[in-house]
Amino acid sequence: MAGIEKMEFIKGKVEYLVIDEACQAVELSTLIPLDLNPGRVILVGDQRQLPATTFSENSDVTRYSRSLFERLLDNGYSRTMLTI
């Protein structure tokens, strides 16, 4: 929904962007709503559960199946794990 023209009117007006199940989406799909210029982005997910869904045989080799969530963790961004 975030990539359609009808959403242009909220560009720059989004305070928080919450992406649920962020580990199940390929990185490129997660980047689309970032074009709305949100003030803050919250990625929710568990990288130890289901990976991003791809149908390409070489997606693991090219790392296309990696989510933005995983890329951020791989590069040292902090995370908060829920305990309850």
Domain boundaries, the chain: 5-74
Q: What are phi and psi of 17, to 5 degrees?
A: -115, 120
Q: Give the pLDDT of residue 4.
A: 84
Phi/psi of residue 16, each to 5°? Answer: -130, 135
- Residue whose C-alpha is closest to residue 51's, from 38, 65, 31: 65
pLDDT confidence of residue 20: 92
pLDDT in tens, the chain (84 residues): 778 888 888 888 999 999 999 988 888 888 899 999 999 999 998 888 877 878 888 887 888 888 899 999 999 998 888 888
Q: How much is the pLDDT for 15? A: 96
